[in-house]
Structure 1
Amino acid sequence: MNIGKKLSLSLLSLLLLLPVLTFGETETASAAAPKTKTVVGVSVATLWKTPGLARSIDASSLASPVDMTAWTAAMNTTAKRRWLTGKTETQALYGQEVKIVQTRGAWSQVVVTDQATSKSRYGYPGWLPTAQLRTVPAADWDGSAPEAVVGAKTAALYKTDGSAKLLELSFGTRLPVAAQRGEWVEVRAPQYGTAKMRAEDVKVTAAGAKEAQPTGKQLVDTGRTFLGLKYLWAGTSAYGFDCSGFTGAIYRYYGIRLPRDASDQFRAGKSVAKADLQPGDLLFYAHNDGKGSVHHVAMYIGDGKMIHSPKAGRTVEIIPTATKGYANEFAGARRYLD
């Protein structure tokens, strides 16, 4: 057997072993119900392409707890925000489940299990400081309890006696409900066991029941609350969205999980003709006059207009679908409601 064939067989063997090497478990091991899960333990965790890329102004996003307000304020020029392009991958919210792939020094590579992507069948990959992760009892995070879903742009998480604020959480954060008492909702909180939130800041989903499907108007109205919010590459939170982070967050608030990236969102849903567009449908844009790779997504709001989070240096805005630079790159529309 020649050297080329040996190398080819070695490479094939390695590729076949990757799923085992990556997650460090066999089918037998994975069949056993885990006693714990790993979740995000900061209000918003930013996942990076690789460790060691961050600048000094990114320090407040790498801490535990993070200070998202300070971080986004520090990026006070378009150039500082554009710098993140290709360096950050996505974000995960407090309590969102991840799986650890590997650890390198103070960093862990994880996949966000409920962010579907063509990059990995396990979830959206990226690196974050290990200090931003927490281990929780799997029984508390098994999806069987009602969930408190943050509907305000941001909401405070308080100690169980209501005496002090623990964290500021983003829109879309989902936490298991332990109890409801008047104007307070008691929730499971990774590093605190239980904590409280104001009932006015959250909606509570029914345990084990599919969430009621929103109307197109509800989706659009929710999107409108973020008008003027600065674009953030890889952003999925109320501190800044990228284009698909914006559309995905709006749908996720209503219990509809879209793939993470615009190109994957385009592959999901039902195709809709331009003449049949309804509020809440998503509009996709591609290079090469709409015939190339998808690079942008917006939400149709009716009357020939769309709402989107366009790019660094811009904010969530409403513009006509006929706007130059978009109309010529229109690739198609998708609907995710029945």
Structure 2
Amino acid sequence: MKNKLLWITAVLLLSFVFTSAVQAENKEKYVDVSVATLWSEPAETRDVDAPAISNPVDMREWTESMTYEQKLGLVGKLQTQALYGQKVTILEEKGDWVKVAVHGQPTPKNELGYPAWMPKEQLADEKRYSTLKDKKPFALVTSPTAHLYDDKNRGKEFKEISFNTKLPVVTQAGDSMLVATPSDGMKWMNEEDASVYNSEEEIPEADGEDLVETGKQFLGLPYLWAGASGFGFDCSGFTHTIFKSHGISIPRDSSVQAENGTPVAKEDLQKGDLLFFAYDEGEGYVHHVGMYIGDGEMIHSPNSASTVEIIDVFESDYAVEFAGARRYLD
């Protein structure tokens, strides 16, 4: 009897361990749309937001169809965005929505990544994709946006994806490369739209000039609250993504970016340093960030009425709110 009880206990323990492992694995999914927009609360959307909460999404239709007032209506309702193929961990479920932590977006809000809500249908958990992502080199999109195609000759478009998207590379042929997608098998893309690396560590070390040139690709791109893609950025989404595309991980939000890195005096500013601006003439809460590009100028994504721009920062209205600078380059 004693041996039987021990055997039953062992079986139950193994079953619990296996079930727990499966449940933990099932909580990790991959973004299955070109850009997933994450919300503060589930189902807090409007009719105009339909192109952003479907699968597939149409980011251009969404961002270009909104009026200025409708863009302002997103303030506080959106948290961040996640890119095609990016890993997330499910934290909570509510109907057709899930609260996830976006891996690769550091924040004190959750050690796994930035937490917010998104439609469940925008996620996939295809095992083959997960395996390829772990074992294959990856294509890092370097164009503001790029297209995936159904055929090697790139005649039939499948999906438009964002800058900084990372997808496993299966093979390269001529000027095309075959990449894996989270739920739609293999697709082709133009090799000119991406760089291929075997690991994150292989991404070349960047200097300030590299960051500045990357940022300038987006001049004229309209602002989007919580935006973190080549379809639209908010201020910290812009700086976070520019650094991330060069293999440098910095916090997602400006207020947290302002607390990390190395403090830099105004007279010692270099290209690539981040400049922060706060309420109460620079003494209050940090609400904005831009990147120094030299000669007293800053590139930034300012607000819903503007686009990514370059300004003479200390001769602008931002000067009075200057709250310091941080350096994230070695």
TM-score, scaled relative to structure 1: 0.87
Q: Which residue matches 1:317? A: 309
Are 2:71 and 1:106 equivalent residues in the alignment? no
Q: Which runs of 5+ in 1 are unaligned?
A: 1-24
Matched AA of 1:124:
Y
State the identity as a percent: 48
Q: 2:167 aligns with which of 167, 172, 175?
A: 175
Contact kept? 2:201, 2:247, Cα under 8 Å: no
Q: Which residue matches 1:9? A: none
After superposition, the C-alpha distances for 1:36-77 in whole angstroms (9 at most, x for unaligned) are 94110000000011122111111011110000010011113x
Q: 1:236 to 1:208 in 2, by over 3 A?
A: closer
Q: Which residue matches 2:217? A: 225
CA distance in 2, matches of 1:81, 1:97: 27
CA distance in 2, matches of 1:240, 1:35: 31
Matched AA of 1:41:
D
Q: 1:124 aligns with which of 96, 114, 138?
A: 114
CA distance in 2, matches of 1:112, 1:141: 16
CA distance in 1, matches of 2:200, 2:234: 31
Q: 2:136 aligns with which of 145, 152, 168?
A: 145
Matched AA of 2:84:
Y
After superposition, the C-alpha distances for 1:266-317 in whole angstroms (9 at most, x for unaligned) are 1221111111111111101112221222111000010001010011111111
CA distance in 2, matches of 1:237, 1:207: 22
Indicate the SS of the match to 1:126. strand
TM-score, scaled relative to structure 2: 0.89
CA distance in 2, matches of 1:35, 1:99: 9
Matched AA of 2:70:
K
Offset of 1:33 from its aligned partner? 8.8
Offset of 1:29 from its aligned partner? 4.0
Contact kept? 1:35, 1:139, Cα under 8 Å: no
Indicate the SS of the match to 2:57. coil
CA distance in 1, matches of 2:136, 2:199: 5
Q: 1:52 to 1:35 in 2, by over 3 A?
A: closer
Matched AA of 2:96:
A
Q: Report the count of equivalent residues.
A: 312
RMSD (CA atoms): 2.2
Q: 1:286 aligns with which of 267, 278, 285?
A: 278
Q: Which residue matches 1:47? A: 38
Greater CA drift, 157-166 or 327-336: 157-166
